[in-house]
Amino acid sequence: MEFSAKQIAGVLNGRVEGDAEAKVSDFSKIEEGKPGTLTFLANLKYTHFIYDTQATIALVNEDFVPEKSLPETLTLVRVANAYTALAQLMTMVDRSQAKKPGIHSMAFISSTANVPADSCYIGAFAFIGENVKLGNNVKIYPHAYVGDNASVGDDTILYAGVKIYDNSIIGKRCILHAGAVIGSDGFGFAPEGDKYKKIPQLGNVIVEDDVEIGANTTIDRAVIDSTIIRSGVKLDNLIQIAHNVEVGENTGMAAQVGISGSTKIGRNCMIGGQVGLGGHIKIGDRVNIGAQSGVLSSIEDGESVIGSPPVGVREFFRSSLIFRKLPEMYRTINQLQKEIEELKKIKK
């Protein structure tokens, strides 16, 4: 598809500087700009690339002031926020390229399932179980599985190999990437002598609206009641969420986060990669947890922590300066101890 600078500015409520009829048909990074592409400048450390870019159109913030001449072939579209404007454009293009509705002849759909055939896409070898309810414009890619009594809301996408266990509830406008597993058994075992007895997991998983779940992320169903992922949550690839966890609205997690059972996480939190959260604790609203932190106790609203056990970010980085000096400090202490011993001998 091809768009002019004038059309792009119209969509983004932006302002054109240069050739309003300049046309682009693809995107490019500003350091690798090519003719016929649209690029963007949001991070100031990349500013020097804009003076040599070969891209045809660049999205820039409204307050961007060039320090020298820009390429004659470059047209600017000024917007309030170049990064969010780019996301808006890419979303529009992505939707225009979405797969057309249709149900593949090799998909299996139970006779008791409620599937709006006129708007849904269901790929080859997908499985739709008994009493499943699909909303309008749902897209289910090949080899996905939707178990009995599950429901999937309007405009949700299940990519190839997604597994939705029985009784799970998926909201509207969600995106589940390849290999995500929703509703698998929680890790529940009771010691019985030298062995473990499995505790049945009788609950389900509820994923509310506008949630994105990364590839190979797993969310366990509750022992009783529900594991709940609230609206707007964004989960990266390779995340493990245990039974009876609740994740608050608009919280984001990076890859390899692990959350133990019955932990409650508040709204608008940011959790870095490889963070581990212990069980039965509460993380407040607007909490930031740095990468590789190990959290074993509750955290109050608004705190920013890092480390294992976690401490305040400023305290952690002050401590990190000391960590590097520990070998030298150890040698100094040993030398002082020897000198003290020598002094004691002299006094005797």
Q: Compute the Cα dihedral for 175, 213, 249, 220 and give only its sign.
A: positive
The predicted-structure confidence for 171-221, as pLDDT tens digits, reads as follows 999 999 999 999 999 999 999 999 999 999 999 999 999 999 999 999 999
Query: What CATH number has the domain bearing residue 61?
Result: 3.40.1390.10
DSSP code string of 72-88: TT-EEEEES-HHHHHHH
DSSP code string of 290-317: -TT-EE-S-B-TT-EEEETTEEEHHHHH
Cα atoms found within 13 Å of the Cα of residue 211, Cβ hemisphere only: 29
Question: DSSP class of residue 67?
Answer: S
Query: Looking at the structure, do residues 303 and 195 belong to the same domain, yes or no?
Result: yes
Contact of 176 with 150, CB cutoff 8 Å:
no
DSSP code string of 22-58: -EE-EE--GGG--TTEEEEE-SGGGGGGGGT---SEE
Query: Looking at the structure, do residues 180 and 301 belong to the same domain, yes or no?
Result: yes
Query: Looking at the structure, do residues 253 and 110 belong to the same domain, yes or no?
Result: yes
The predicted-structure confidence for 61-87, as pLDDT tens digits, reads as follows 999 999 999 999 999 999 999 999 999
For the beta carbon of residue 5, count every other beta carbon within 10 angstroms: 24
Contact of 125 with 109, CB cutoff 8 Å:
no
Of 96, 116, 146, the residue that ends a domain is: 96
Structural domain boundaries enclosing 243: 102-315
Instruction: Provide the pairing of β-strand 270-271 with 288-289.
Output: parallel
Query: Looking at the structure, do residues 241 and 325 belong to the same domain, yes or no?
Result: no
The predicted-structure confidence for 12-46, as pLDDT tens digits, reads as follows 999 999 999 999 999 999 999 999 999 999 998 99
The pTM assigned to this predicted structure is: 0.84
Check 48, 104, 243, 280 and give the catalytic one.
243
48 part of the active site: no
> Residue 307 forms beta bridges with which residues?
310
